[in-house]
Amino acid sequence: MKVQRELDLRAYIRDVPDFPQAGVLFRDITPLLSDPRAFSYAVDALTSPFLNGGLDAVVGIESRGFLFGAPLAYRLHLPFVPVRKSGKLPSRLMSIEYALEYGTSQLDIHADGLQPGQRVAIVDDVLATGGTARAAAELVERLEGKVVAMLFLVELGFLNGRARLAGYDIHSLVEY
């Protein structure tokens, strides 16, 4: 698989002021998702570092991490392992509670979702503060998996999420 000619993905990300609350500038990726060329380019760009191996599974964070993680796993012929919000997975779980700006949340992974030693990439749409990605990494590590990389479509650099993920290899396609 070859990554297409350079494409400016920013042209496919819409700014929505005051969403979900006043003062927030939301980066809406739905225009990118609705454009087959831009979506394919993004998936190819996230996939390309691993075309020659290095991964045993792809872990996608609910929900928009599924949009990029599942096609990445498909293209690499690897298992896709979902990390979901509380109450969404039906089998025996490994769970972690983590801090949000206003309260806490919980992420779950199936306890048999990974085998010890498996090398994984964690995929999500946006790296903001890094809390969700950090929690997903802790779940992977509790299952004795190894986080090889964290992949994001968009990174909101001003929120310093990268600092919270120090020690992990982080790839993002667009930074604001």
* Interval 57-106: pLDDT, tens: 999 999 999 999 999 999 999 999 999 999 999 999 999 999 877 789 99
17 Ramachandran zone, left/alpha/beta (phi>0; psi -120 to 50): beta
Q: Which of 10, 27, 64, 162 is catalytic?
A: 64
- Give the burial string for 108-122 (b: 16+ CB within 10 Å, else e): bbbeebbeeebbbbb
120 sits in which H/E element: strand 119-127
pLDDT lower than 50: segments of the chain: 1, 3
Q: How far apart are CA 122 and CA 150, in angstroms?
A: 5
Taking 3-state DSSP, the helix, strand and coil percentages for the chain, each rounded to the nearest 5, stand at 30, 35, 35
Q: Which of 5, 6, 92, 101 is catalytic?
A: 101
Global pTM value:
0.94
Helices (H) and strands (E) in the chain, counts: 5, 9
pLDDT for 169 equals: 98
Looking up tokens 């690499």 gives: 76
The CA distances from residue 103 to 85, 100, 125, 175, in Å, are 15, 5, 22, 27
**101 tagged catalytic:** yes
pLDDT for 100 equals: 79
**64 tagged catalytic:** yes
Q: How far apart are CA 175 and CA 104, in angstroms?
A: 26
Structural domains in the chain, sorted by start? 15-175 (3.40.50.2020)
